[in-house]
Each structure stands twice: as structure tokens, then as C-alpha cells.
Chain A
Amino acid sequence: MDKSRRISIMILAGTIILFIISWIIKSNALQTSGMEGSLAIRDAFLITLAAFLTLAIFSFLYKDNPYYKFAEHLFVGVSAAYWMCVGFWSTFVGNFIPKVSTSLSEFFKVPPKGFEIHYFIPLILGIMLLMRLSSKAGWLSRWSLAFIVGTTAGLNLIRYLRTDFITQVSNTFVPLLVDWKGIGPFFSDFSLSASGQAVMTLANWVIFVGVFSGLIYFFFSKEHKGFFGGASRVGIWVLMVTFGASFGYTVMGRVSLLVGRLTFLFSDWLGLVN
């Protein structure tokens, strides 16, 4: 047995021993807090397993290793199985069975909704999609895929055109002087509150200038010189601020996920924090 293999086996043995010790300690802690014996043992096992899987994923930060691979594959497998089971019970049993068979509805304990023959169309398309697994009949799946692509494109085209284009364009038509009653009232009622006249006016100007200069930056039919060039440079700045905001939000999102896992480790597993 070579040295690296011996070390791997020792690390595995150490991990198993640590797992068992952690499980026993957690079981005792749960029983002390008033949980019933068998429940405490079960919950302690699940918490310890979740903690070790979390640590296995974190171990990738050091370098790629078999523990990380195991946790990753387990996650993918469990997720796929979960989606399939939920899909079966919610769509096949929940939607299809009540529309095609009273006896099957009684078997699955769902209320029958009366026979509707057109519900067999998605069933046939679904079976055709599964034909992808066969090398000879794989071509049949293309019909189902074509149906999916066609309906999705058709549905999205209209909605995106209205919501993401027409309504968004109309959203940029904002008053550049909000509730304007003259210079006197503007200064006498001046407030820096977020819903105040000054801030709202400034916000609308930011939208106007941002959209205008951003559009100019992407207009390549005219050379970016003079006023056009200046507006284009403002457009770059607007884009940079947007990317910066997106990056900041991404950092916040990733840190939140890290906090979530560390909270689990410190609180649920180790009991260090309340």
C-alpha cells in the first residue's frame, strides 16, 4: 500500500470517528434539552450529517478532494430525485389522473374532475420526450422539444414585448420637475426625505440622464465626438455604476449564503450561539 493511499484511509477513518463522536455528543445535548430518546438520536444524526456535508463542500476552498466530490454528487442526485417525485405527485397525480380516470383518482385519493381526452396530448408528448433515452427512437423527442420551444417562444414574445419593452419605455417618461409649484415653495418646503420633492426630482433626472446617455453609448451610427461623445462617456459611467451595484448585490447574496451555513454550524450543530 503506497503512502498517499494509507494517508487517505487514515483521514477517512478519522472523519468517521469524528462523525460518531459528534453524533453521540449531539444526541446527549438534544436529550438534555428535553427531546425524546429515539427522536434525539435521529435528529442528532441528521444535524451531524448536514454539518459534515457542509464542511465537505467548504473543503473545496482548500483544494478539490473526494469529500467535496461526494457531497456535490449527493446534492445533485437528491435534487434530481426530489424534483421528479414532486413532479409526479403534483402534475401527474394532481393534474392528469383526475382528468382521465375515476378509479385511478380513487386509488391516489385525489378528487376526479371528469374525463377530458385532450389531457392525453401532453402524456403522449411526455412519452415522446423520454424516447430520447433510446438510440433508435430518439428522433421522436424532437417533436416534443419543438412544441416546448414553440409555445415558450410564443408565450414570452407577447409578454416581453409589452412588459419589458413598451411598459419599460413608458416608465422612463417621468416628470423632470416633481410637483412643481415654483422656486419659492421648492425652497420653503425643501426636504431631503426620500419621498420629498427634491429627491424625487433628482431621482427622475438620474433616470432621464441615465437612459439617454446609455442609449447614446450604444448608438454606433454617429462618431462619438463633441456633445455626442460627452453623453457617451456619461453613458459608460452609468453602465459602470450599474455593474458596480450588481457586483455589490452579488457579494451581499453570497455572504448571506455563507452566513446561513455558518449560523447552522455555530448554532444548530455546535450550539455556540443562540
Chain B
Amino acid sequence: MNNIGIIISVVIIVLGLLWLAIRSLTGREVERRIIFLFMGLAVSLPLIFNITFSEKATPVVRNIFNKIESLPAGSRILISFDYGPSMAPEVEPMSNAFIRHSLAKGHKVILMGLWATGQSLSATAVQDIIKPEFPDKIDGVDYINIGYKAGNQGVLNVIITDFRKMYATDVNGVNLDSVAIFKGIKSLRDMDLMISVGGGFPGVKEWVLFAADPGNIPLAGGSAAVSAPTYYPYYPRQLIGLLGGIKGAAEYESEIKKHYPRFADMPTPGIKMMGPQTLAHLIVMAFIVIGNLSFFFAKRKKIDG
């Protein structure tokens, strides 16, 4: 199915591009809706035919995996959901992968969010990932969801000295002083690793500025592709690693699958998205080439005429 799918997709796309190239080079208009249709096809066909590619983790991704692996079981990992539903298809695979990896390794996981929408998404992660896949893990002992607080970077500025000044309870209204996981935790400085998953404001950048750098706390990031280039300068000294867009998520998923047999059948939305990504990027590259060629052809025609 995979090979037939690739052949069908390639034939449809190549024939379409040929038609587009001939039309453009002969100086006829190509409506923008045709371009949209191409993108739609490029994304839909790999999804329908389930076209996937193998992924290999790059150092910037593997560093995060190795960091979680190297921490002793029971270490405290804070994962911040700094995104909303509009960004979820891209970054949710990252947060899910981090949660799976951390819990499988026996770490304590603290979920929070600097975005209001992050609170419901972290609650969804508890319902869809932690409860069904880790039934032995106990809320308040192995993991906790402390939710969202308004204040953007101001929240980080407070919790780097004292968590309880900002968070009195978890999302279920349970006093943080009464939960086992928060025993011995005063501030962010008591975390062994912080991970910010997001791509807007506040996000990875604010975590570097207001938590990781002043507190000298290890920070990893998972970012929407649009913001990723602005975060790479922080790697490797201010950010131990970064998952840049869905490619980063796919690499991390492949790393988990490689090292943990229990996750062999886990859903891998990141890896599945790389099929449509590859085809869509090829289409965009073809558009750029065709556009430039038709521009130079038209220019030459003008000079000759």
C-alpha cells in the first residue's frame, strides 16, 4: 500500500506540476486556487496512503533524550504547556513524547502552562496519555497538573523563588502542601529539568530569560516551526536541546520507539506528518523553480520582442 501510494501520489503531483509549468512558461495566468489545490493534494495523498519515512534523531534532539535518560529515576521534570489548540497539531506530539519518556523512565512529572489554553491541553494529556498508558502512576505522587496562572513572564519571576506564592493548589483544588510530589520543592531551582513546549509569547524564550539563565536550571524546548529559528541561538549553552517543529517531534518519537519496546505501537503523529511535509516541501520548491523560470522567460520574451 505504501509503495502504491507513493507511486499514485508522485504521478498525480508530477502530471499536475507539468501542466502548471507549461501553463506558466507559455505566459498564461495560474489562479491562486490551483496552488491551494496542489497543496491540498500534496498533504492529503500521503495521509490517505499512509506514506511515512524513517527518522533519525539529530544531536539537538538527542541531547534532550539523553538528558532525560541520564537523570536518576525519581528526578523532577517540569513540562510547561505554552500553546493553544491552534498550535496543538504541531507541538502536542512533543509534549506527549516528553510525558511518555519521563514517566517510563520513572521521573516525577509536573505539568503547568503559561497559556490559559495550556491548562485544558495538559488536562487532556493526563486523560489521554498518563491515565490509560501509565495506570500505575498516581496523581500527586508521580505526576501533577498545577495548571495555568496569568502573568506571563511575571509567573516565572515569582516561581523561581517560591512556587506557593503563585500556585496554592493544583488544577483539582488540592493544596500543594498536601501532595507528595511537591514535598521538598520550593521553587523552580528544585527542578532537575524544565521543558517548555510552545512557540509564541510567553514560551521557550521567556523560560530562557526568566528561569533557566537566572536560576542556572537545565532547560529543553519544543517549539512550533515558525519560532524555532529564533530559539536555535540559545543552543547548546542556554538550551540543552530543541525540537524544532514537527520534524523535531518525529525525531524524538523515533528515538523513544528505538529505545523503549513498550512504545513500539504508540501513536506517532510526528512521524506520520513527515510524509505530507516532504511532499508539500517538494511542491513548494517546484513552485519556486517554476515561478522563477517563467519570470525569466517572460523577461527574455520582452527583451526579444
Chain A interface residues toward B at CB < 8 A: 61-62, 82-83, 86-87, 90-91, 94-95, 98, 109-111, 113, 151, 155-156, 159-160, 162-164, 167-168, 171, 194-195, 242, 245-246, 248-263, 266, 272-273
Contacts and interface: CB of A to CB of B under 8 A. Distances in A.
Contacts of A155: 153-154, 157, 210
B168 A94 contact: yes
A195 B59 contact: yes
Contacts of B126: none
Contacts of A252: 225, 245-247, 277, 281
A151 B120 CA distance: 29
B47 A159 contact: no
B151 to A, nearest CB: 8
B135 interface: no
A110 B154 contact: no
B43 A61 contact: no
Contacts of B90: 253, 256-257, 260
B89 interface: yes
Interface residues of B, number: 59
Most chain B CB atoms below 10 A, which of A171, A195, A251: A251
B48 interface: yes
B116 A82 contact: yes
Contacts of B224: 253
Contact of B238 (A109, A171, A261): A171
Contacts of A156: 153, 209
A164 B119 CA distance: 29
Interface in B81-126: 86-90, 116-117, 119
A231 B86 CA distance: 42
B19 interface: no
10 contacts: A94-B167, A94-B169, A151-B154, A155-B153, A156-B209, A171-B237, A245-B229, A249-B229, A263-B47, A266-B44
A259 B88 contact: no
